Structures are given as structure tokens and as C-alpha cells.
Amino acid sequence: MNSKSDFSSFVRLNVGGKKLCTHISTLTKRDPNSKLAAMFSTGDHSLCIDEKGYVYIDRDGKSFTYILNWLRDGSVPTLEDSKYSQLLKEAEYFQLEELVSCIHLLQMNKKEKELGTELTRRDIIKYILDKEHYSPEPKFRGVNLSGIDLSGLELTGINFSYACMKNTCFAKANLSNSNFDHIDAEGADFDNSHIADSSFETANLKGANFSYANLGRAFFRMANLQGSTFYKAKLGSSILDGTNLQGANFNYANLGSSQFREADLEGASAVGIEYDEGTIPFSGYVSPYIH
């Protein structure tokens, strides 16, 4: 093996003296924009290959074993804090943005469990600022953010799926293009926030406040919005199919061309609503008890 053109789908690696074998696709598929993927796909990197055909990489071999396992199945190992620091350094070197993000999130979760403390506004801001250098999609999947004041923050494009956000304050925050699928956000405050193009599929948003919020093209399919408030909110062309909207307040909201197929609107209030010309407000809802 003398050049990149001689590579088959199988490659032998010598990383800091640690010899490993894998497939080219394993190194390139999970994070195709990484430096590691570029080394074995673009031809922009010259590779050091010994007489036995091993590609030599002058980095920490033990950490690369963890990286290789992550590339194979997406699992981040459970390690001591000192070892996470080394793994993080290697992930940053190879520009594996998703792995960097996963390590940061795992450390945050570990802090919460070990110290018995909840994350703070300062923790979230620090994490977001750190992630701007590494990952286009910061992740808070499954994290407990209950009761935290996150008002006014720039929180676009974040994965909050499965997080616990009971009574969390997002007032005046920018949450566009974020993933809130399956969250528990009972009593959360989204007052005057920007949530366009975000997803809340099957989320628990009972009693949540969306007053004055911009919800354009938000996706709420099968969400629990019982008793929630959309006073003077702008829904644009949001999807609320199959939602529980019993007792919800839509007074003076702009529904645009939003869809409510099979939504339960029993006891909902809709005084002074606006909607796009040619559309039927609350078209397709299952309960006739709007007043």
C-alpha cells in the first residue's frame, strides 16, 4: 500500500503505537466533515504508511480506540474526568464535532447526578458559547432544565428532545429551528419568544404560555397543550394535528393557515382570532366546543 489510491475498503492503522483495523467507511461516514474523514476521503492529506501497510497517525492510541468505537456505534464511553479531557482533546484535533458535543453534554449530566445540583443559566450560556466553536447543533437531549431562567437567550438549532423543562422560562428567547420533541415542559413560559420552524412532537406542554410568541411553521403533532395560552401569538402555518388543546386560550391570535386535524379543542377560547384568507379556522378539529 503506497498511496491513497491503493486503499480498499479495509485499512490498518497505527495510532501512537496502538495498532487497529477498520473500514474506510467507519472513519468517514458518521462525521463526513471531520478532519479524520478528510484524511481518508478527499486526498488533501498526505498519509504516512509503513512497510507493512499501516497508516501511522501521531496521536494518542488509547483515546483513538474510544473514538473508533464511537464512529462504529455512536456510544460515548464512561470514563474518569481526566480521561475525558484527553478524549476531548483528540476529538477536537480530528474535528469530530458531534463527539465533542456529546462529551460536553455527558460531563454536564455527570455533574448534575454526582453533585445533586441543577444546571444553572450560567452553565447553559457557557455550554452554548463553547459549542459555537465546535458543533452546529448543540444538544441538551434528556437534560433536566426545570425552573431555569433562560429568557432572552440565543438558543437556535438546539436539540432539547426528551428534556425536563417544567416551569422553565424562555421569555423573549430565540428558539427557532430547535427540537423539543417528547419534552416535559408543563407550565413553561415561552412569552414573546421566537419559535419558528421548531418541533414539539408529543411534548407535554400543559399550561404552557405562548402569548405573543412567533410560532411560524412550528410542529406540535400529538402534543399535550391542555390549558395553554396562545394570546396574540402568531401561528403562521403551524401543525397542531392530534393535539390536546382543551381549555386553550387563542384569543386575538393569528392562526394563519395552521392545521388542527383531529385536535381536541373542547372549552378552548378563540375571541378575535385572525386567519389567512380562504382558510377555515380550526379546520378538522374533533370537538365543537370552542367559545
Per residue, the 3-state secondary structure of 145-166, as one string, reads: CCCCECCCCECCCCECCCCECC
Band (pLDDT 50/70/90 cuts) for residue 132 is low
Give the pLDDT score at 148.
Answer: 92
Span 39-61, average pLDDT: 86
Residue type, 147: G
Please name which of 176, 180, 90, 100 lies closest in space to residue 132, comparing C-alpha atoms: 100
Residue 15 has pLDDT above 60, yes or no: yes
Band (pLDDT 50/70/90 cuts) for residue 82 is confident
Residue 68 backbone phi and psi in degrees, to 5: -65, -40
Give the pLDDT score at 287.
Answer: 47
Residues whose CB falls within 8 Å of the CB of residue 133, separated by 6 or more in sequence, listed in order: none
The residue that leads in pLDDT, 117 or 29, is 29
Give the pLDDT score at 118.
Answer: 62
Give the pLDDT score at 7.
Answer: 46
Residue 4 has pLDDT above 50, yes or no: no
Give the pLDDT score at 124.
Answer: 81
Residue 71: Cβ-neighbour burial (10 angstroms; 0-12, 13-18, 19+): buried
The residue that leads in pLDDT, 159 or 81, is 159
Give the pLDDT score at 26.
Answer: 93
Band (pLDDT 50/70/90 cuts) for residue 161 is confident
User: Reduced to 3 states, what is the DSSP secondary structure of residue 24?
Assistant: helix
Mean of all residue pLDDT scores within the chain: 85
Q: What percent of the chain has pLDDT over 70?
A: 84
Question: Does the CA dihedral 85-66-135-33 come out positive or negative?
Answer: positive
Span 185-202, average pLDDT: 96
Whole-angstrom Cα distance, residue 181 to residue 218?
11
Give the pLDDT score at 50.
Answer: 87
Band (pLDDT 50/70/90 cuts) for residue 78 is confident
pLDDT digits 0-9 by tens, 21-48: 999 999 999 888 899 999 998 666 788 8
Residues whose CB falls within 8 Å of the CB of residue 157, separated by 6 or more in sequence, listed in order: 136, 137, 138, 176, 177, 178
Give the pLDDT score at 113.
Answer: 56
Whole-angstrom Cα distance, residue 160 to residue 183?
7
Residue type, 287: S
Whole-angstrom Cα distance, residue 163 to residue 185?
8
Residue 143: Cβ-neighbour burial (10 angstroms; 0-12, 13-18, 19+): buried
